Chains A and B, each alone.
Chain A
Amino acid sequence: MNLHISKDKSLEPARKPFLKKLLSSRLTFSLVILLIVVVQNIITTPTFFRITITNGLISGYIPDILDEASLLVIVSLGMTLVIAATGGVDISVGSIMAIAASFCGLMLNGPEYRTDVYHSPYFLALLVGLLGGALCGAFNGFLVAGLKLQPMIATLILFTAGRSIAKQITHGQTIYIMNPTFKYLGVQIPGVPVRTTIIVSFVMILIVVLFTKLTSLGLYVQSVGINGASSRLVGLNARVIKFMVFVISGVLAGAAGLVGSSSLGSVNSGELGLNLEMDAILAVALGGNLLSGGKFSIAGTVIGAYTIQAITTTLYAMNVRADQLNVFKALIIIVIIVANSDVFKERIRKLTGKVVRKNVSVGG
């Protein structure tokens, strides 16, 4: 419907004062939350800033959080892109972690379930693991881009079946990789004082940022997420872009799986990355990214991931159990989605509008 506009309003926004700009930025929102959590932790943990060197590794409260959050950070990077391009979520990331780790473990251990001898070259096994992740991502991408399934439903398949598949890859058992070099990736490379997980997570952040900013992929992902119709008309192939983000998410989840299994020295398909998808979604949302897609901020997601990790650690310290935690997280997700829903926003607007209107006299 095209109503005749009687006036052509040429409004240009005046240059926003810096403070106002800062306040309305989405990044600020996530920084504030992180700040609150950090302050709370500082108050309750007197040793918050203490850093020591134990067994040749930098330890302390802060390094521990960075370490524990590393898997979440890696997975959240992929989740950010999926949400940005499609407005939907990839809930298969946990399962993909297990599948990738299983492939790697299978290559390394061969037919044995507990050995310290590598049956294949280490780096080849890592590569196969990553390829496994890519393959899973391609499967998801095909369902979403090709069959036009909603992302949550498409990734539901691997979410339910993935871990069973992973288990079958390792002959139905948890396998133990006893070779000490296996732990380099997830724990520590001898001589390097920083935990490898932290290094890997930072490297991944760097790779993703460079990839999205140095190529036009970041711009395309945002365009497709903001307006699919316009994207097509300017010559973008939305389907290919959506396919690609799922593959990327798969590779990143695969990497997280390799790191995760390395830190434990074993591949346990039932446990690896369990419930990580919920945390990843929360991390992206807390990072100020709209769950409906469009513009995204990697920095925001990273902040969000560390925030979630800090909250989780705090709650565990207060003796909250993992399954109870799920209840809270499920509630938080619902709250975020409700707050983002159009109908809800409409109602709030009407409510606040009503309050304002009461003060205005009714004219003729």
Chain B
Amino acid sequence: MDSVNQNQTPSLIMTGIGKSFPGVRALNGVDFKLRRGEIHALMGENGAGKSTLVKVLTGVYPLDEGTIELDGTPVSIRSTQDAQRLGISTVYQEVNLCGNLTVAENLFLGREPRSLGLIDWKAMNRKAAELLQELNIIAEPTVQLDSYSIAVQQMIAIARAVNTDCKFLILDEPTSSLDTDEVKKLFTLMRQLKEKGVGIIFITHFLEQVYEICDRITVLRNGELVGEYEVEKLPRLELVTKMMGKELENLSDLSSSKDQLHTDEEPLLEARELSSGTSKIAPFDLKIHKGEVVGFAGLLGSGRSELVRALYGADKAVQGQLFVKGKSVKIKKPLDAIKKGMAYLPEDRKVDGIFADLSVRENIIIALQAKHGLKRMTRREMEKYADEYIKLLNIKTASMETPIKSLSGGNQQKVILARWLLTHPEFMILDEPTRGIDVGTKTEIQKLILKLAAEGMSVAFISAEIDEMLRTCSRIVVMRDRRKVGELTQSEMNQSTIMRTIAGEGGQ
């Protein structure tokens, strides 16, 4: 951490940035400052406004309020070309280069050196070699890009960005697909750019990496600025609490008051070294007992959804072992899980949950129907069930035949909940079940979960709100940076411990 830069005045100053979309205030009076030669992390949870801020800076969205100053001069950024011209470059999470073209071509696409109006390949290759050497990237200009690993491709993408006279570089989740060695190489390159005076915005979910390479951190929450901090002076725990919106002093020791659990019994579900092929979580072990409500805490991107999906077989190619009631099972697809008594309420109901054009009734009965194969449930049965659950969950709909797309988000969520409750599962996975739901309904659902658990249902519960989990869960699994880092039992469960575990024991 170079202390020389700490006293510099910022070159890029964004003040009072406001941006609205229909019905949503995405950014509200956000300030952001970046210095030359500084590596600055931009962090925040769901809906924080990180991506919107970056898009305003790179000209994808025009800002509604606020000013942007570069080296003391106010600038107007209304298009991606404007941003480019001002020296602001972005490298995205998915390497945005063309694998079928050579390294040199990728470096210069759109600005190839020319002679007599036509592209001069010799000059291009030569310049490419110089650029790569300067940045210590081991790659040959004439080789096809996709012969190289993603890590190298990413560095080439950075080289391209840097080559355009760039003063500020935005790296959006660059380390998501890299292993430890590759991350080291990336950081070496970043430090090199730092030496050259490039200001870097580093967007990431990985706490450890932030502490390894960044000078400053800006935290956003719900579209507003929480604060800007120097990394050296901000302990991990504080960072986590600021991101999740709790003040350290105010963290109550609100613990849960559940009955003692039958943890000595054989678990209903046991996972050993389980992971799925597509998601990048570390293989995990987990035990879930009958009647338990297990919460999953962690920052956004820590891998909680991936973990529960692995239990359900929602993503392809599950590796490791899974035991249900002591017997080893192979769950390759959701139907297998459903047959073993599992249910899954997905995080994104629009994409994974609802059948938009089908009626509320059809949406409710579909999972139970799928269990029966081609044998159709009678109309009367369907109406009986639909009616039952519309009343039970207080679903507001004109009739059970209304297409579900006309319902509000909260009511849609209730329909999907009804869908799974109807199958009377032994184990239910709820991924953010109360997101976007009004307070009254939230409490209803939490009470419902407790009731079901008392009746013997096991629940896996993911929520961004720790209070909610404390109220309903008897155990909390903590995840950080895509791996399971801890489990808290009843007695250990309170807000500050949870935060501490997320942050990583040891404060700084």
Contact = CB atoms under 8 A, between A and B. Distances in A.
Nearest to B24: A3
**Contact count band on A:** 35 or more
A151 B351 CA distance: 23
A12 B410 contact: no
A234 B423 CA distance: 11
A14 B399 CA distance: 10
A214 B371 CA distance: 16
B429 to A, nearest CB: 11
A295 B358 contact: yes
Contacts of B46: 2, 4
B356 A226 contact: yes
Given A8-B436, A215-B375, A234-B366, A222 B21 contact: no
Contacts of B334: 232-235
Contacts of B296: none
A230 B353 contact: yes
A227 B222 contact: no
Contacts, number: 117
B1 interface: no
Given A13-B398, A219-B369, A234-B366, A4 B406 contact: no
B314 to A, nearest CB: 6
A4 to B, nearest CB: 4
Interface in A211-234: 214-217, 219-220, 222-223, 226-227, 229-234
B194 interface: no
Contacts of A219: 358, 362, 366, 369, 376
Contacts of B53: none
A148 to B, nearest CB: 13
B117 interface: no
B354 interface: yes
Interface string B44-61: 001100010000000000
Nearest to A226: B355
A20 interface: no
A5 B371 CA distance: 35
Contacts of B333: 232, 237
B398 A216 contact: no
Contact of B23 (A5, A12, A14, A233): A5
A11 interface: yes
Nearest to B374: A215
B301 interface: no
Contacts of A223: 355, 358, 366
B113 interface: no
Contacts of A5: 23-24, 409, 436
Interface in B305-342: 314, 333-335, 338-339
A295 B25 CA distance: 36
A1 B25 contact: no
A2 to B, nearest CB: 5
Interface of B: 21, 23-26, 46-47, 51, 222-223, 314, 333-335, 338-339, 344, 346, 351-358, 362, 366-367, 369-377, 396-399, 402, 406-411, 419, 435-438
30 contacts: A2-B435, A3-B21, A3-B24, A3-B47, A4-B24, A4-B46, A6-B23, A8-B408, A8-B409, A8-B410, A10-B410, A12-B397, A12-B406, A15-B399, A215-B374, A215-B375, A215-B376, A216-B377, A219-B369, A223-B355, A223-B358, A226-B356, A227-B355, A229-B352, A230-B351, A233-B344, A233-B352, A234-B366, A235-B338, A294-B357
The 10 closest A-B pairs by CB, nearest first: A4-B47, A235-B370, A235-B335, A216-B376, A234-B367, A235-B338, A3-B24, A8-B438, A215-B374, A226-B355
